[in-house]
Structure 1
Amino acid sequence: MGTREDHRPFADHVEELLSGGGPLPIVEAGDPVLRRGAEPYDGQLGPALLERFVAALRLTMRAAPGVGLAAVQVGVALRIAVVEDPAPVPPEVREARGRVPLPFRVLVNPAYAPVGEARAAFFEGCLSVPGWQAVVARPAAVRLTGADEHGRPLDEVVTGWPARIVQHETDHLDGTLYLDRAEPRSLSSARAMAERWTRPVPHDAAAELGFDLP
């Protein structure tokens, strides 16, 4: 555990961020905070400030809009993330991607490990890399460990699209962007995505752009 003095810089930074009101500015690729990795959370913000920070992360994620947001994406290098996905997608997309609703939740000091050998590859984007998407092959199921915002332990198996979200946000806390895991030849602009790659599974993109799927 750190000392009270060790914790002050985090608390002061978060207080400064929250003083502006409204959604927080999202840090974009190229900022070192996205590459350094985050410190384990051990009470640096205190219960009241943590509650306010989580509320701001939730507001920012929804306003973006996105389905997850890590603290480092707003410049705070602590192992905290929020996730939420109402999954407003057609049935064929839900079936192909396993994209089922993910209720709002807070992940504190999360970690994941693959469960089984199955992998799934889909286009993925990031609020910190606006305007682009790329295909990322990830474990189809993972064991999520960590805690919630109240310190209650998490230890569960997550599958489908929720597993992808959990991996994406936890990677942020390790200094990893989705592009580090992506198939480089799949990189596509928002315009190309809208015009060409709207199918639930990226088979066409793989064939035409020249990359393999697992």
Structure 2
Amino acid sequence: MGRMWGGLLLLGRLGEPALLCRKVLGAGGARACSSAAARNGLEGPARRRSYWHYVRRLVKGPPSPPYSHVCQVGDPVLRTVAAPVEPAQLAGPELQRLVQQLVRVMRRRRCVGLSAPQLGVPLQVLALEFPEALFRACSPRLRELRQMESFPLRVVVNPSLRVLDSRLVTFPEGCESVAGFLACVPRFQAVQLSGLDLRGEPVTWQASGWTARIIQHEMDHLQGCLFIDKMDSTTFTNVHWMEVND
């Protein structure tokens, strides 16, 4: 895995604020950033592991991308601009493994889209799917209001986006990388997604409504952007807030 992604994993695996800043700012800037992070508590409390967790990591080593979990906000890989997949990589087993993991995690989490950076790999690869079962789980009123339509699995490599209808539509939105939170986010009404399939063949997809929202959300991930960067901050909500009050 490391051979294929090479230096691309470097930013995705940086675990300390000082290391990230050293990459971007140099040693002097890294020291300043590290001090600021410590003052502001960005590093959080010391992480504790059980004895068996410690032994397991000692024997197996730390997990490596593509992860079987979704990276959470704070992981530098989510703020990295993803690199394009090289033509020679398209038919390679490592890209196939990445795609299989994307689809596996997306379906296990019952979400409708996932990007490679969310599994720790800063490459331009998206998996999107709105299966009929999830579609039917939404009420008819919700489907109509949010202009929902189911669609089969689509995997797009090196995607690009073109806006077809610039009207902004605002609805609540969440993200597996900001788990447990929702906020209202404005998105364009209709877009066109272009890129390559896994055979290297060009693909184009025109979408509107909820499907266009899903596409725009996942495309943002490839630019190091999260929905919290575009949200109406007054609507930012912990989905468990009512449980706390019970």
Is the pair's TM-score, using the shorter chain for normalization, greater than 0.5?
A: yes
Q: 1:197 — aligned with what?
A: none
Give the superposition deviation at 1:6: 7.3
1:113 is aligned to: 162
Cα deviation for residue 72 of structure 1 reads 0.2
Tell me which residue corresponds to 2:126: 81
Structure 2 gaps of 5+ residues are: 11-62
* Partner residue, 1:199: none
User: Unaligned regions of 5+ residues in structure 1, if any?
Assistant: 195-214
How many pairs does the alignment contain?
Answer: 186
Is 1:41 equivalent to 2:85 in the alignment?
yes
Shift of residue 32, structure 1, vs aligned partner: 1.0
Q: 1:193 to 1:183 in 2, by over 3 A?
A: farther
Aligned pair 1:27/2:76, yes or no? no
**1:130-169 counterparts in 2 under 5 A?**
130-169=179-218
Paired residue for 1:200? none
Change (3 A) 1:7 1:51: closer
Residue-by-residue CA offset, 1:68-121 (whole Å, 9 max, x unaligned): 110000110100010111223111111111111021110111121221232211
> CA contact under 8 A between 2:8 and 2:122: conserved in structure 1?
no
Please state whether the residue corresponding to 1:151 is helix, strand or coil.
Answer: coil
Query: % of aligned pairs identical?
Result: 37
Q: Which has the larger radius of gyration?
A: 2
Equivalent positions of 1:1-214 (< 5 A) are 7=4, 9=6, 16-17=64-65, 24-42=68-86, 43-44=88-89, 46-86=91-131, 87-88=135-136, 89-192=138-241
- Give runs of ≥4 in structure 1 deviating > 6 Å: 10-13
Q: 1:126 deviation in Å?
A: 0.3
State the structure with bigger RCO (CA 8 A, min sep 6), 1 or 2. 1
Moved more, 111-120 or 162-171: 111-120
CA drift at 1:10: 7.2
Q: Which amino acid aligns with 1:149?
A: L
- Which amino acid in the other structure matches residue 73 of structure 2? A
Query: Is the 8 Å Cα contact of residues 129 and 153 (structure 2) preserved in structure 1?
Result: yes
Q: CA RMSD in A?
A: 2.7
Q: 1:44 to 1:120 in 2, by over 3 A?
A: same
Native 8 Å contact 2:8 2:83 kept in 1:
no
CA 1:149–1:11: 2 relative to 1, 3 Å: farther
CA 1:54–1:6: 2 relative to 1, 3 Å: closer
Indicate the structure with greater helix content: 2
